Amino acid sequence: MAKKWNLVIDVSRCMDCNDCFLADKDEFTGNDFPPYSVAQPWSGHRWMNIMRTERGQYPLVQVAYRPTPCLHCDDAPCIAKSPAGTVFKREDGLVIIDPVKAKGHPEIVATCPYEVIYWNEEAQVAQKCTGCAHLIDEGWTDTRCSQVCPAEAIKLVFADDAEMAAKAAAEGLEVLRPELGAKPRVYYKDLYLFDKAFIAASLAFGDTDECAEGARVTVSETSGGAVVGEAVASNYGDFYVDKLVPGKEYGVTIEAPGYAPATRIINLDKSVNLGTIVLGRP
């Protein structure tokens, strides 16, 4: 099985420093790399686009960043829906918009369901991340973005499909919107930090006014009752139960020895901080 390039991006490591974005700008703005790309415009394009999200409510808030380049899909909708020959896939997995054949075809921009294709008004061509194909051809084993990331959040991996499937299973890697069937070659670690939800709260003992350190929290699905998350309150009395699915209803049970259990039913629209929950004696 032929080896192909893949990117593995760790959401938990990205700190939004923008070095990957700037390295992309440094490489492609003002520089033509035939036959893969003409120069990227000075503004308006984000071939490496850092998506940002904020979850929860003050003071139990988390932020996460998801660097998002072209995903170099194996069943790429851009190839299927664009005029024949304008977008193609190399044997090493990289998806390229031919800057000559694609000239004058703005409709290519809308073919990507991940919205990573941009229109270059001056050059009259659709453009996106090339996977640094011109550097790979010179023997590079990094893209500019993977090379510069100080947090080592972006890794370029040369592996065949079986090796990537095994790596994905072992490390819990996910792809964006797998339901589209596009088979992206960009994998994400800890993607739940971006697209799942948490239930959080601060717990206190009513009689002593102390933080309820050690109180146990159980979160279950209300339909079926399956336990989907557990946590122990920190020394500040705080807990997070994460990786929950927005749109579902959950039951929360809080227990501490010598105190009456507290329960809540949460229709989880998005990550929620339940505020301070005071545990009383039975």
For binding to ligand SF4 (CB under 6 A), which residues are involved?
Answer: 70-73, 76-78, 95, 112, 114, 116-117, 128, 182
Tokens matching residue 32: 């033509």
CA 215 to centroid of chain Cα atoms: 32
Choose between 76 and 254: whose C-beta lies nearer to ligand SF4.
76
C-alpha span between 155 and 161 (Å, rounded): 16
CB 233 within 8 A of CB 211: yes
Choose between 68 and 273: whose C-beta lies nearer to ligand SF4.
68
Query: Minimum distance between the CB of residue 95 and ligand SF4, rounded to whole angstroms?
Result: 4
Choose between 81 and 264: whose C-beta lies nearer to ligand SF4.
81
- In angstroms, the first-to-last Cα distance of the chain is 64
Q: Using omega within 30 degrees of 0 as the cis cutoff, is the peptide bond preceding 59 cis?
A: yes
Choose between 180 and 278: whose C-beta lies nearer to ligand SF4.
180
Query: Minimum distance between the CB of residue 119 and ligand SF4, rounded to whole angstroms?
Result: 13
C-alpha span between 145 and 149 (Å, rounded): 6
Query: Minimum distance between the CB of residue 59 and ligand SF4, rounded to whole angstroms?
Result: 37
Query: Minimum distance between the CB of residue 64 and ligand SF4, rounded to whole angstroms?
Result: 20
The per-type count for the chain, helices as H runs and strands as E runs, is 6, 16
Query: Minimum distance between the CB of residue 246 and ligand SF4, rounded to whole angstroms?
Result: 24
Choose between 73 and 231: whose C-beta lies nearer to ligand SF4.
73
Tokens matching residue 41: 């415009």
C-alpha span between 42 and 105 (Å, rounded): 21
